[in-house]
Amino acid sequence: MARPRRIVLVRHGESEGNADDTVYEREPDHALSLTPTGLAQAAEAGERLRALFGEERVSAYVSPYRRTLETFRELRLDRARVRVREEPRLREQDWGNWQDLADVRLQKAYRDAYGHFFYRFAQGESGADVYDRVGSFLESLYRSFEAPDHPPNVLLVTHGLTMRLFCMRWFHWSVAEFECLSNPENGSHRTLVLGPDGRYRLDRPFERWTTPQTFDLWG
């Protein structure tokens, strides 16, 4: 099995929805483009990643949303060294169809009170649903490591919530730990680095907005 030395998770650059949440009333979430700021953030991320990967090969997976596809394009990676595919299981948490702004803001308040992992949007997904499809993607990713010539780098271009849930699934974090974490900034990345002991570790943690509550399973 050829496990990669690095698994890099990149959040898309700033999108039209990040800059103006009223756009969700007029445009589908999946169709939102990057703003000029988002394009610049993606280009800066590309500079960092090209330096990180050097001349090594990369296996890349990209969420099918326009803002993630545009982010990957703006990374300007070497086509000769990168194998890329669209991966729907890395998409954003589904909210369901067009959004009524007042209703969405109310549901976000409900989600904050109920919990981001378990709260399900009325016509969309819960964080737990995203966790399940990320787990399905991980099973496919593990199988790809069986190829003896698997590239030493894996790149995922995805969304903030999906990044946190990927790491939750990979590192077996608790729901309480997930709930205390904040999304990374647009255009930023986190890297799972393979250590000499065969374990992966994050190069830097996600920021916390609160301290996780602990629960003793043994009483």
Q: Are 5 and 153 in contact (CB under 8 A)?
A: yes
Sequence-separated (6 or more) residues with CB below 8 Å from residue 205: none
Q: What single-letter amino acid sits at 166?
A: F
Cβ within 8 Å of residue 115, ≥6 positions away: 175, 179
Q: List Cβ neighbours of 197 (8 Å cut-off, separation of 6 or more).
A: none
Which strand (E) or helix (H) includes residue 192?
A: strand 189-194
Question: Letter for the amino acid at 76?
Answer: R
Cα–Cα distance measured from residue 169 to residue 162, given in angstroms and rounded to the nearest whole number: 10
34 bridge partner residues: 15
Look up residue 160 and give its two tokens: 């903030």
Distance CA 42, CA 10 (A): 9
Candidate list 92, 125, 177, 179, residue with the active-site label: 92
Q: In the annotation, is 92 catalytic?
A: yes
Q: Both tokens of residue 18?
A: 């990040």
Q: Cα(50)–Cα(112) distance, rounded to whole angstroms?
A: 37
- 103 vs 9: CA distance, rounded Å: 31
172 noted as active-site residue: no
Residues with catalytic annotation?
A: 12, 92
